[in-house]
């Protein structure tokens, strides 16, 4: 059973460009979470999604950031008009939503560098 | 509201020595508690979790943690450190829905040969 997949693993963007980060949850998992990790810091919650629904986006910046988890395909975290402060590691996690629902399984992360 | 405090951003131990990584939590509801390990440039791997069953929880790689409600603590221990234990360790708390995790700032463990 493959784990949580994220791509790309590394992404370089210039200021003002768009960044798209993808996350495929573990097979059978219907809940997806996005976190951001700044250097020397812990992970900060951004958003929690189920298929076609945003459940909690209390950690998402109000502008430029959006997330989706369509019925088919991976979850996408989209950052428009990136700025240098967006440089960070972005981690996706998934959980099954039933048995063991309280445990989140993490992907390897996407490291975004904004030049 | 929930939060986690990890005391000591850097801990160094000699190979074979006891590992003790501290975690204190704050939660207005019965918490679920987790320890994750992160190796360089990798994602987080679950070490162990407390979900209101036994207060002493055993995890992978010889690690264990004890939930102490009176001390609001969930410290991580390992009797004998191995070089391969060098990594970043994160403590996290959630409510029983697991919908949102709150992470500590992490403790970097160095193992000295």
* Cross-chain Cβ contact B98/A106 below 8 Å: no
A107, A8, B38, B88 alpha-carbon torsion, rounded to 10°: -150
Our measurement of the distance from residue A83's CA atom to the centroid of its chain's CA atoms, rounded to an integer in Å, reads 17
DSSP A25: P
CB atoms within 10 A of CB A50: 12
* Cross-chain Cβ contact B106/A42 below 8 Å: yes
* Cross-chain Cβ contact B98/A48 below 8 Å: no
Per residue in B77-95, pLDDT (tens digit) is: 999 999 999 999 999 998 7
pLDDT of residue B30: 81
B87 membership: H or E segment, kind and range = strand B87-94
Interface check for B101 against chain A (CB to CB < 8 A): the answer is yes
Partners of B106 on chain A (C-beta within 8 Å) are: 41-42
Phi first, then psi, for residue A35 (nearest 5°) are: -130, 155
Please tell me which of the candidates A6, A41, A95 has its beta carbon nearest to residue B105: A41
Per residue in B10-68, pLDDT (tens digit) is: 999 999 999 999 999 998 778 899 999 998 878 889 999 998 778 899 999 999 999 99
DSSP 3-state assignment of A85? helix
Phi first, then psi, for residue A21 (nearest 5°) are: -115, 135
DSSP A98: B
Partners of B32 on chain A (C-beta within 8 Å) are: 102
Q: How many residues make up chain B in this entry?
A: 113
**A39, A104, A109, best to mutate vs chain B, most B CBs in 10 Å:** A104
Interface check for B3 against chain A (CB to CB < 8 A): the answer is no
Tokens representing A52 are 């076609």
* Cross-chain Cβ contact A106/B104 below 8 Å: no
* Cross-chain Cβ contact B106/A111 below 8 Å: no
User: What's the Cα-to-Cα distance from A85 to each of A12, A16, A18, A77, A79, rounded to whole Å?
Assistant: 13, 12, 14, 16, 12
- A63 close to A78: Cβ distance less than 8 angstroms: no
DSSP 3-state assignment of B26? strand
Radius of gyration of the CA atoms of chain B, in A:
13
User: What's the Cα-to-Cα distance from B19 to each of A97, B37, B62, B77, rounded to whole Å?
Assistant: 34, 14, 11, 5
Q: Which residues of chain A have pLDDT under 50?
A: none
pLDDT of residue A28: 86
Give the whole-angstrom CA distance, residue A18 versus residue A4: 23
- A95 close to A103: Cβ distance less than 8 angstroms: yes
Work out the end-to-end distance of chain B between its first and last CA atoms, rounded to an integer number of angstroms: 41
Smallest CA–CA distance, residue B16 to chain A, in Å, is 27
DSSP 3-state assignment of B60? helix
């Amino acid at each position: 059973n493959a784990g949580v997949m994220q791509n790309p693993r590394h992404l370089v963007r210039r200021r003002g460009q768009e960044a798209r980060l993808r996350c495929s949850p573990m097979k059978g998992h219907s809940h997806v979470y996005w976190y951001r990790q700044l250097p020397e810091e812990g992970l900060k919650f951004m958003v929690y999604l189920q298929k076609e629904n945003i459940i909690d986006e209390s950690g998402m910046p109000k502008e430029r950031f959006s997330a989706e988890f369509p019925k088919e395909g991976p979850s996408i975290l989209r950052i428009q008009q990136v700025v240098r402060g967006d440089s960070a590691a972005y981690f996706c996690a998934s959980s099954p939503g039933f048995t063991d629902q309280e445990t989140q399984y993490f992907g390897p992360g996407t490291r975004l560098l904004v030049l | 509201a929930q939060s986690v405090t990890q005391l000591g951003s850097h801990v160094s131990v000699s190979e074979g020595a006891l590992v003790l990584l501290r975690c204190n939590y704050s939660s207005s509801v019965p918490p679920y508690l987790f320890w994750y390990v992160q190796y360089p440039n990798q994602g987080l791997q679950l070490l162990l979790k407390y979900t209101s069953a036994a207060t002493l929880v055993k995890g992978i790689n010889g690690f264990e943690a004890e939930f102490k409600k009176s001390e609001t603590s969930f410290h991580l221990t390992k009797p004998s450190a191995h070089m391969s234990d060098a990594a970043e360790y994160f403590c996290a708390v959630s409510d029983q829905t697991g919908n949102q995790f709150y992470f500590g700032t992490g403790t970097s463990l160095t193992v000295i040969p």
